[in-house]
Structure 1
Amino acid sequence: MTAATAGPGRLAVARLQYEGGGDWYANPSSLPNLIRAIAERTSLPIERAEAKVTLTDSALFDFPFLHATGHGEMKFSEVEARRLREYLTRGGFLHVDDNYGLDESFRREIVKVFPDRPLVEVPTSHPIYHLVYEFPNGLPKVHEHDGKPAKGYGIFIGNRLALYYTYSADLGNGWEDVGTYPDPPAIHEQALRLGVNLFTYAATSRVQP
């Protein structure tokens, strides 16, 4: 489905299509694999099809979980920044995965959305690291491009984590089909487990407008 809504009583994952020239469509097998894991490992009523939405789509607020990735430029218009702020403030959840190249533009653009809320490191005690699977050390490292440690940053609205940014981890690559990258299956499993935690948190912490 594209900007379609989820079925009655069901939850869905949507890939965010953004402007700027970045490959928002990267890691094509990642979300289908994540959705399958959520469906098989939790009791959440999840749609089996990945959706694709822009920030101006009328169906944006129907999705509890948005995922954005890519290697290049991300750019939000003033209208898009306002819509994303409204989406997150009203209970939505955005996961942004830096696919080694998105960091500079994402950090610039998110200031348009929340000039008053800086990105902060999410503590390892947060529920995203414990809801379904335990991650006592926080975000797992999937790729070793530059030797930097994997970092999970977030923006909080009240006590709720509304945006989670995975940096120097390549979590989405870990969701892709085993064999797509030379990472061992154990890393693929760790990535999927954290993805299950993220979606579970997004679905169960959502504040209804």
Structure 2
Amino acid sequence: MKLKHQMQITEHATRNTSHASRITLPCLLLAILLTPSAFPQVADDKNATFFMGRIRYSSSEGNDCPGVGQDLMKLVSRASTIKVQEERRIKLTDAELYETPFLFMNGHNDFVFTEAEIANLRHYLSRGGFFFASGCCTNPDFPKAWRREFGRIFANEKVKPIPYDHLIYRSFYKIDRVRCLNENRDIQLEGLFYQGNLVAVVCEDGLCCAFSANGTCNAGKGISPEEGQKLTLNIAVYALTH
């Protein structure tokens, strides 16, 4: 059974994005009031309202750019009154998967999911879970593999670019366009949809690396640290409100 929760977006976000919406997995109820002036700390609290699962998968133990996940959690914490727990590292075959409404994955290299991992992802995403992935250091091998593997999850659903008129670019900050630092093109998120709902997002341009590791990972490539923080926060807010 899916649970319902309420979320109120402050005037920091666009007015038309405040609404009640669905998520999440069984046994978790989120009630969040975003406020730009609140700066709670990341808490190692078993009763924390929100926690993130960092995926350990076939070619990684979740150690690629190890500080990125924690920096992502701190970013969410600083922008909200939500209580945030330390990240947990889980496999797609772990029972804890279904108690974790927000999954994060990153990496540098190619990877392949097992059939069991694909089946669990199908179950997880079709029941309200959300998956966010960020390639490390703008390496193209990881996002290429992610598109291929996530294209296996739902019949007739492939990973595709998310246009700039999608609500994910308005969920907290109003983002009209993000330019690549080292190429003449826009940065664009890509996603997997299920029954019209966006359930998984990837950015090939080192999105989280942009504001982690003291900005040394991307080193002038991909997305800027400032835009990286904004876009990542939009993704997190969108995941928690849909």
TM class by smaller structure:
0.7 to 0.9
- Distance across 2 between alignment mates of 1:136 and 1:64: 28
Question: Which of 107, 124, 144 in structure 1 is aligned with 2:147?
Answer: 107
In structure 1, the partner of 2:54 is 15
Question: Which is greater in Rg?
Answer: 2
> How do 1:141-156 residues align onto structure 2 when only pairs under 5 Å count?
141=180, 144=182, 149-156=186-193
Question: Which of 175, 184, 187 in structure 1 is aligned with 2:224?
Answer: 187
Per-residue deviation at 1:160?
A: 2.1
> Where does the alignment leave 5 or more consecutive residues of structure 2 unmatched?
1-27, 29-44
Distance 1:130 1:11, change over 3 A: same
Distance 1:140 1:171, change over 3 A: farther
Percent identity reads 24
- Distance across 2 between alignment mates of 1:9 and 1:25: 23
Contact 2:191 2:199 in 1 (8 A): yes
- Distance across 2 between alignment mates of 1:42 and 1:196: 10
SS at match of 1:33: helix
- Distance across 2 between alignment mates of 1:18 and 1:81: 12
- Distance across 2 between alignment mates of 1:199 and 1:179: 20
Question: Which of 89, 92, 99 in structure 2 is aligned with 1:52?
Answer: 89
SS at match of 1:133: coil
RMSD: 2.5
In structure 1, the partner of 2:10 is none
1:72 aligns with 2:109: yes
Contact 1:13 1:66 in 2 (8 A): yes
TM-score by length of 1: 0.82
Deviations 1:106-144 (A, max 9, x none): 23222321232111211112222111112111x554x63
Contact 1:30 1:172 in 2 (8 A): yes
- Distance across 2 between alignment mates of 1:50 and 1:81: 22
Distance 1:140 1:163, change over 3 A: farther
SS at match of 1:97: strand
Deviations 1:22-62 (A, max 9, x none): 57421212121121121111123322x12111101111012
- Distance across 1 between alignment mates of 2:187 and 2:215: 22
Opposite residue 151 of structure 2, the aligned amino acid is V
Deviations 1:147-183 (A, max 9, x none): 664331111123321011212x110211313243434
Distance 1:42 1:204, change over 3 A: same
Distance 1:103 1:35, change over 3 A: closer
Distance 1:89 1:59, change over 3 A: same
> Where does the alignment leave 5 or more consecutive residues of structure 1 unmatched?
none
Per-residue deviation at 1:104?
A: 3.1
Deviations 1:45-90 (A, max 9, x none): 322x121111011110121211111111221111110000111111
> How do 1:1-209 residues align onto structure 2 when only pairs under 5 Å count?
7-8=46-47, 10-19=49-58, 21-22=59-60, 24-47=62-85, 49-99=86-136, 100=139, 101-137=141-177, 141=180, 144=182, 149-167=186-204, 169-181=205-217, 182-183=219-220, 187-205=224-242
- Distance across 1 between alignment mates of 2:236 and 2:72: 9
- Distance across 1 between alignment mates of 2:215 and 2:191: 30
Contact 1:178 1:188 in 2 (8 A): no
Q: Which shows bigger deviation, 151-160 or 124-133? A: 151-160
- Distance across 1 between alignment mates of 2:146 and 2:112: 8
Kindly indicate whether structure 1 or structure 2 has the higher relative contact order, using CA contacts under 8 Å at least 6 residues apart: 1
